[in-house]
Amino acid sequence: MAQTEKTYTRIPEAEEMIKQLQERYPDELWAVKPENLMVMGIDNKERGKKNYKLAKILSVKGVEKAIFREANVNIQYIVEIYCSDWAEWTSKKKQLILFHEVLHESSKGIGCVKHDCEDFRMMLDVLGVDWANKPDSELPNLLTDDEKVQFNLNLRPNMLEYCEENDIKIEDLNAENKQDDEDAAEDANEVAEALDFEEEVDA
């Protein structure tokens, strides 16, 4: 079956949001140039059920960059989302997703910066994002501490597969996630929220 070609609508509301984010967080988003970015929404189809990429960011390069230059269009990055998602997301979620995407912008204006953290969410959740650089006194001893570390079992790896296998919708689990760890440990049907922001970095 031939795939329908995606069609796009520009989303000025998202572009304005990025501008505001950049104004409010100039240090965090120092590499972001809102004027060189466009947000385009796919308007003729919804995100597939198994597509966990909420958004992606593309760097304009090569022949497209050359054509843009001919046309006097100074766009270096394109954020791509689904219009149907955009309509559903709360303002907070829109902000966070856009914030995440523009962090991929390179200060050089070409190419994308990859995620800078590779780890397991179950560990990050308990230990903090920078645990490997923390002093020993701030780290738990997994083997000898009186209390075992209370990992959130919802954050175990392979939970996306678990969801698929058991036909559970990730979205439905957000509320359940608030339950305490003990309940979560008992209830194997619960799965982690999986805000997966993978994108085509360097597509």
Q: Which is nearer to Zn ion, 23 or 196 (CB)?
A: 196
Site string for Zn ion, 169-198 (x = CB under 5 A): ----------------------------x-
Q: Which is nearer to Zn ion, 190 or 199 (CB)?
A: 199
Q: Which is nearer to Zn ion, 68 or 197 (CB)?
A: 197
Q: Which is nearer to Zn ion, 7 or 51 (CB)?
A: 51
Instruction: Calculate the alpha carbon distances from 169 to 65, 92, 153, 164, 196 in Å.
Output: 39, 21, 17, 8, 14
Instruction: Tokens for 45, please give them.
Output: 């189809």
| Least distance (Å) between residue 146 CB and Zn ion | 39
| Least distance (Å) between residue 134 CB and Zn ion | 25
Q: How far apart are CA 145 and CA 80, in angstroms?
A: 47
Q: Which residue is nearest to Zn ion (CB)?
A: 197
Q: How far apart are CA 19 and CA 15, in angstroms?
A: 6
Determine the size of the site formed for Zn ion (CB under 5 A).
Answer: 2
Q: How far apart are CA 104 and CA 125, in angstroms?
A: 23
The three-state secondary structure class of 168 is coil
| Least distance (Å) between residue 104 CB and Zn ion | 6
Q: How far apart are CA 39 and CA 76, in angstroms?
A: 11
Residues that bind Zn ion (CB under 5 A): 197, 199
